[in-house]
């Protein structure tokens, strides 16, 4: 059996991106919550969780930190489930505010906060969660976030105390909203739930799985549990896309083009719908409160994988039209088998990931074919990075003695690591010749 434990091209990709930005030393950790200012500025963890349930990591991806504002989209999802979209909309808007996360600005007349991603909106959102008392409401929030992460999440009591001890601006916001009528619950009770929700501890891996749950229509791809209704996921992702990055949201949408949410401890999630979620962590923040390295790395990942939501590609699924099935034994080579795999449409990350996962499965396959013919005739385009990952797969197959060749009438040489033939027959004949 061949050891494939070190075969991790997606992890390698994250590692490359990490090394590209680890040297960026702009920004500094948040200090308005005293406990956050002691964070190590050199830490940089990245994780990517695919909708097939695999997680890839680089750097300090297991380090724990507080979720802060990244809790907001998930609590928003819970409020939408608890009181329905209209009930929530009556109390919290869905308009980008263009203002700082802690801005003291409410809709004239109604006193409604602009959206659930700024503090005022998030405080109202927390107050809408069902429960007989604040402890019950918080427990429902903690459980919901835990189900999205696929593990039981706990509160960082030091950060909670630090935040509760210094959170007067949030209290002021809550009093204003109570005066305006947009907040009906007692201020101290509501902000306490909010401070606790912000102090829940996560790692970059947890964030990636939570983001992948959103990417996967509300089903946690690790546990298989349906946590959020798909229609709610759509609304949450929309609000993340327009309001998730504080007063950088517009530029973020132009440059990165993905629904995202950042938190002042240095965490960030970005969601590529139907593909994967990423979770990043690095404490130094820019002037708008977003992690400098996490923003730079997300931008690189989005560019390299062509993830921008407005990217003009015709997505044709499924990309596999025929799964590898060994052809009849070739004349004169009774033990030799050649499998044919036909791909179609736009080849992007999930196809490459499926191929990588299939490689891992095949590691124990004693009945492995000697050759694999990959028919690319019906492939319209191939994302360059997906091609690189597929080339890694082809090389890995080569190490096992499985030769991979491609077929492309148009001779586009989409996969550099394989010899290319104009027809499937010509490719099969290649294996037939001694």
Active site amino acids: 69, 72, 194, 246, 264
Work out whether the CA dihedral 114, 118, 124, 130 comes out positive or negative.
positive
Residue with Cβ nearer ligand GLU (63 or 163): 163
CA nearest neighbour of 39 among 236, 285, 269, 407: 285
Q: Classify the phi-psi angles of 79: left when phi > 0, otherwise alpha if psi is within -120 to 50, otherwise beta.
A: alpha
CA 353/CA 390 separation, integer angstroms: 9
Minimum distance between the CB of residue 16 and ligand GLU, rounded to whole angstroms?
Answer: 28
Minimum distance between the CB of residue 276 and ligand GLU, rounded to whole angstroms?
Answer: 23
Residue with Cβ nearer ligand GLU (45 or 289): 289
Contact code string over 146-165 relative to ligand GLU, x by CB under 6 A: -----------------x--
H or E segment and range at residue 277? strand 276-281
Work out whether the CA dihedral 193, 195, 200, 202 comes out positive or negative.
positive
Q: For residue 202, how far is the Cα from the chain centroid?
A: 14
Residue with Cβ nearer ligand GLU (76 or 101): 101
Find out whether the peptide bond into 63 is cis, omega within 30 degrees of 0. Answer: no
Residue with Cβ nearer ligand GLU (28 or 102): 102
Minimum distance between the CB of residue 200 and ligand GLU, rounded to whole angstroms?
Answer: 11
Minimum distance between the CB of residue 210 and ligand GLU, rounded to whole angstroms?
Answer: 15
Minimum distance between the CB of residue 193 and ligand GLU, rounded to whole angstroms?
Answer: 12
Helices and strands of the chain, counted as H and E runs: 14, 12
CA nearest neighbour of 191 among 239, 268, 138, 143: 138
Applying CB under 6 A, the site for ligand GLU has a residue count of: 11
Rounded to 5 degrees, what angle do the CA atoms 405, 406, 411 make? 130
CA nearest neighbour of 196 among 147, 148, 142: 142
How are the residues of the chain apportioned to helix, strand and coil, as percentages rounded to the nearest 5? Answer: 45, 20, 40
Residue with Cβ nearer ligand GLU (198 or 271): 198
CA 419/CA 432 separation, integer angstroms: 15
Range 373-392, binding ligand GLU (CB under 6 A): none
Give the one residue of 61, 170, 216, 298 binding ligand GLU; rule: CB under 6 A: 170
Minimum distance between the CB of residue 100 and ligand GLU, rounded to whole angstroms?
Answer: 9
Tokens of 369: 């074919």
Residue with Cβ nearer ligand GLU (203 or 344): 203
Range 287-316, binding ligand GLU (CB under 6 A): 289
Range 260-279, binding ligand GLU (CB under 6 A): 263-264
CB of 257 closer than 8 Å to CB of 311? yes
Q: Is 119 in the site for ligand GLU (CB under 6 A)?
A: yes
Minimum distance between the CB of residue 290 and ligand GLU, rounded to whole angstroms?
Answer: 9
CA 92/CA 103 separation, integer angstroms: 15
CA 351/CA 379 separation, integer angstroms: 12
Range 47-76, binding ligand GLU (CB under 6 A): 68-69
Residue with Cβ nearer ligand GLU (69 or 182): 69
Residue with Cβ nearer ligand GLU (197 or 216): 197
Q: For residue 352, how far is the Cα from the chain centroid?
A: 17
CA 326/CA 370 separation, integer angstroms: 10
Contact code string over 82-101 relative to ligand GLU, x by CB under 6 A: -------------------x
Work out whether the CA dihedral 94, 98, 99, 105 comes out positive or negative.
negative
Give the one residue of 92, 128, 198, 405 binding ligand GLU; rule: CB under 6 A: 198
CA 340/CA 428 separation, integer angstroms: 9
Range 405-434, binding ligand GLU (CB under 6 A): none
Minimum distance between the CB of residue 61 and ligand GLU, rounded to whole angstroms?
Answer: 20
CA 182/CA 360 separation, integer angstroms: 54
CA 140/CA 134 separation, integer angstroms: 10
Q: Which residues of the shown chain bind ligand GLU in the complex (CB under 6 A)?
A: 68-69, 101-102, 119, 163, 170, 198, 263-264, 289
């Amino acid at each position: 059996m061949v050891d494939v434990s070190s075969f991790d091209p997606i992890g390698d990709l994250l590692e490359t991106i990490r090394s590209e930005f680890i040297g960026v030393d702009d920004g500094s950790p948040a200090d308005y919550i005293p406990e956050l200012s002691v964070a190590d500025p050199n830490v940089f963890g990245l994780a990517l969780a695919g909708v097939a349930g695999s997680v890839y990591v680089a750097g300090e991806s297991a380090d724990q930190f507080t979720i802060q504002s990244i809790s907001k989209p998930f609590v928003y999802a819970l409020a939408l489930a608890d009181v329905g979209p209209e009930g929530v909309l009556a109390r919290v808007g869905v308009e980008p505010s263009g203002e700082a996360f802690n801005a003291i600005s409410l809709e004239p007349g109604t006193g409604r906060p602009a959206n659930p991603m700024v503090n005022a909106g998030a405080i109202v959102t927390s107050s809408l969660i069902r429960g007989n008392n604040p402890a019950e409401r918080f427990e429902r929030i903690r459980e919901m976030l835990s189900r999205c992460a696929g593990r039981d999440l706990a509160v960082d009591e030091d950060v909670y105390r630090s935040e509760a001890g210094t959170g007067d601006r949030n209290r002021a916001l809550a009093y204003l909203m109570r005066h305006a009528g947009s907040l009906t619950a007692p201020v101290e009770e509501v902000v306490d739930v909010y401070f606790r929700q912000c102090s829940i501890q996560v790692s970059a891996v947890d964030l990636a799985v939570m983001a992948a749950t959103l990417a996967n229509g509300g089903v946690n791809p690790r546990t298989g549990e349906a946590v959020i209704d798909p229609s709610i996921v759509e609304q949450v992702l929309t609000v993340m896309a327009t309001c998730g990055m504080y007063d950088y949201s517009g530029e973020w949408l132009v440059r990165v083009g993905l629904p995202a949410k950042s938190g002042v401890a240095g965490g960030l999630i970005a969601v590529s719908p139907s593909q994967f979620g990423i979770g990043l962590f690095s404490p130094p923040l820019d002037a708008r409160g977003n992690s400098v390295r996490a923003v730079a790395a997300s931008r690189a990942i989005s560019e390299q994988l062509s993830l921008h939501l407005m990217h003009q590609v015709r997505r044709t699924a499924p990309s596999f039209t025929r799964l590898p099935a060994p052809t009849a034994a070739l004349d004169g080579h009774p033990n030799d088998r050649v499998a044919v795999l036909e791909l179609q449409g736009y080849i992007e990350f999930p196809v490459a990931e499926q191929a990588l996962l299939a490689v891992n499965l095949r590691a124990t396959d004693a009945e492995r074919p000697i050759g694999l013919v990959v028919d690319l005739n019906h492939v319209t385009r191939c994302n360059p990075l997906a091609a690189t990952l597929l080339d890694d797969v082809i090389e890995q197959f080569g190490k096992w003695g499985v030769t991979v060749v491609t077929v492309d009438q148009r001779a586009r040489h989409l996969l550099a690591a394989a010899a290319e033939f104009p027809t499937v027959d010509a490719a099969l004949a290649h294996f037939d010749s001694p």
